[in-house]
Amino acid sequence: MTSEPPAEVIAEQRELEAARARVEDLRAQIRHHDHRYYTLSQPEIGDTQYDLLFRELRDLEARFPDLVTPDSPTQRVSGEATVEFTGVQHREPMLSLNNVFNAEELTAWYARAVRRIERENLRFVCEPKIDGLAISLVYENGRFVQGATRGDGLRGEDITANLRTLRSIPLVLNAPPASLPRAFEVRGEVYMSKAEFARLNGERRIAGEQLYMNPRNTAAGSLRQLDPKITASRRLDLFVYQLGWVEGDRPVDSHSAAMSWLGGLGLPTNPLTQTFAGIDAVARFCEGWVEQRDALEYGIDGVVIKIDDYNAQRELGVVGREPRWAVAWKFPAEQAVTRLRQIEVSVGRTGVLTPFAALEPVFVGGANVSMATLHNLDHIHELDIRAGDDVIVQRAGDVIPQVVAPVLSRREGREADLVPFAMPSTCPVCGGEVRRNENEAAYYCTNRRCPAQLSRGVEHFASRGAMDIEGFGEKMAFQLVDTLRPDSTHHYIETLSDIYALPALRDELLTIPRIGEKKLDALFANIESSKQQPLSRLLVAITMRHVGTETARALARHFGTMTALREAALEDLQAVNDIGPIVAESVYDFMRDPENAALIDRLVIAGVRMDEDTTALGGPLEGLSIVVTGSLDRWSRNEVEELITRLGGKVSGAVSKKTSFVVAGEGGGSKREKAETLGVVLLDEAAFLERLRADGWADTPA
């Protein structure tokens, strides 16, 4: 006859079983919330609540070490740094893709596929091509057991420990093991978001360390750290893009079905993936992402197009290391390396001296680039960029090309040829004194008569967002600032108010090369009509530091007239909504400067309007904060924003929980996405019009 275990042993066993049950429950909850947060971007609890669950699990595992398992959420970062990575032979090669660069090449790829399998009406799956590092994930009985890099396509490196640190990779799949193939492979792309890249470089900048070049290389380097703790600190992410080999029968018969199945198991799939029935629709999808790519929070360098049906994929097969059933539409490269010939300086309308790079011409971002911005002196010193360096140049879409960093490895043996940059002490255009204002990065030319400042100031004064004088672009502005009047020591334009004296000089102006009668008469008509622009436009046009479109509107609506604004005390300016002390002081100083006061007086004499329509107070949009994004059909962006302001609304440049609604035209990018995430109302142009008319509006924008 056996005796029962002692009471304390029974109590310990019960405590262990209770702990085991609680540990399993906590792990299930944490996996659920990891999936909601990292994969779906739809969290159900706050960070504090999540941390409490995680802390409880960690405490229980510390008390009961036998309950710790390799797939526990607490074990994502575990173990010591490895000396080196071991090799992994891929059971099926990780293939590379052939590239196309336009619709014509895409159509030719499709025609070859149709000829080979003698089938038309194929369906295609398209997804953004993430600019990251391809990896392989192996699951056995529903648990993550191995992760590897692509390597040479046949053999990669075992980075399982590092991949376990990515919270977007489920260690246990969201399905009973019995319902899954015993083992299968998933392929994906690990990437670093733009925000995380900026955070890392910010830390390195503070520490005085060499900055990382781009998110893709940084992600790759982070995955190959010998210490998983370093990988974990980098906040990498993942999208899976393909079901690889499967032991036994495949659970699906198409790529689109496979992606849905993988998503259901808790693996992160890209929500931007779309399926199309025709190759023309595929081409339009690809062309659209050329324009939209910069709105994403991660980098993409193309679109991947796959024939959806697995039977068609098998028929088409592989040539070399490229599948015939898939192709990549590649975007123009956004980075290139070239020689920095010289660092030069330009002078802007506010007198700011901006250094820029004169480069050996290089094709990047779809265009030949020979100049790029260098931002300011601090930026140049921070990156240690020198004339003569080989540098990385970046250009994305229509963004101004910029120098990212020097290629330090190419300096060896050339150090004597490299010239560190120093800001000139005199203006390169007029020879005026250059000063740096306290607490600012910028250097300024102090000569207000500097031709470069004046020319750019005239161009800005006449621009669409200011006085809207069509026909008064960069070339005309420079020509009239640079040209002396006949038998005179004065130029046609020596101050902004001289623009309104030009019609009286018609005969003289006709003697200037490339200025004809029709062109001149059209310009004069536009100069005359610009006198009726409201005060807010004039405040933008005359270039007050720190005063942009929104600030100008706020000032004009608050004070109503130029006279009231000129007489406003500093505390009156600080009382205006959204006007801080720096802006208030800038406006106050501008209005009390004798030269600026004389300019305003001359504009008054010329007949320029000096007031604002303040009927917006009490208007149908009063008290509402509205964001405008995307391209509209009926109005320009400036027109619809002015309409909102006239009807009492406030135009905001960013979407937040305080946004009343977003007027969203075609596109809209990140602002549309943020509105959807926050649950902010989105109105297209028609819905916006309908709302205004329901409130009694029957006008058109000014």
Looking at this protein, which amino acid is placed at residue 454? L
> Is the model more confident about 52 or about 203?
203
Q: How far apart are CA 442 and CA 346, in angstroms?
A: 12
Same domain, 522 and 540: no
Q: 673 and 572 in one domain?
A: no
Position 428 in a domain: no
SS3 of 372, please? strand
pLDDT tier at 701, thresholds 50, 70, 90: very low
Q: Is residue 416 part of a domain?
A: no
Alpha carbon 499 to chain centroid, angstroms: 38
Closest CA to 123 of 285, 255, 269, 267: 255
Last residue of a domain, one of 551, 577, 605: 605
Please indicate, yes or no, whether residues 198 and 266 belong to a single structural domain of this protein: yes
Does residue 30 lie in a domain region?
Answer: yes
Question: How confident is the model at residue 81, as a pLDDT?
Answer: 45
Specify the pLDDT at position 618. Answer: 60
Instruction: Decide if 419 is inside a domain.
Output: no
Q: Which residues contact 199 (CB under 8 A, 6 or more apart)?
A: none
Same domain for 305 and 341, yes or no, is no
Of the residues 24, 40, 75, the one at which a domain ends: 75
Number of domains in the chain: 6
315 lies in some domain? yes
pLDDT above 90: residue 147: yes
pLDDT, tens digit (0-9, with 9 covering 90-100), for 92-121: 988 888 888 889 999 999 999 999 999 888
Residue 427 lies in a domain: no
pLDDT classification of 579: cutoffs 50, 70, 90: confident
Same domain, residue pair 512 and 561: no
Query: How sure is the predictor about 453, in pLDDT bands with cuts at 50, 70 and 90?
Result: very high
Same domain, 491 and 506: yes
CATH of residue 371: 2.40.50.140
- pTM exceeds 0.85: no
Q: What is the mean pLDDT of the chain?
A: 87
Residues 192 and 316 in one domain: yes
Q: Is the dihedral of CA 230, 232, 234, 238 positive or negative?
A: positive
Q: Could you tell me if 592 and 637 lie in one domain?
A: no
Same domain for 161 and 36:
no
Q: What is the DSSP string of 321-370?
A: TEETTEEEEEPPPSEEEEEEEEEEEEE-TT-EEEEEEEEEEEEETTEEEE
List the one residue out of 292, 290, 258, 262 whose CA is nearest residue 275: 258
Query: Which CATH number fits the domain that encloses residue 36?
Result: 1.10.287.610
22-31, 81-90, 499-508: least confident range: 81-90
Catalytic residues, by residue number, are 129
Residues 106 and 217 in one domain: yes
Confidence of residue 78 (pLDDT cuts 50, 70, 90): very low
In the chain, % of residues over pLDDT 90: 48
Q: How confident is the model at residue 80 (pLDDT cuts 50, 70, 90)?
A: very low
**DSSP letter for each residue of 166-233:** -TTS-SB-SS-GGGS-SEEEEEEEEE--HHHHHHHHHHHHHHTPPPP--HHHHHHHHHT-SSHHHHHH
Residue 45: predicted pLDDT: 66
Domain that holds residue 146: 99-330
Q: At 516, which CATH number?
A: 1.10.150.20
Residues 123 and 269 in one domain: yes
What CATH number is given to the structural domain containing 307?
3.30.470.30
Report the alpha-carbon distance of residue 667 to residue 599 in Å, rounded: 41
Domain shared by 539 and 521, yes or no? no
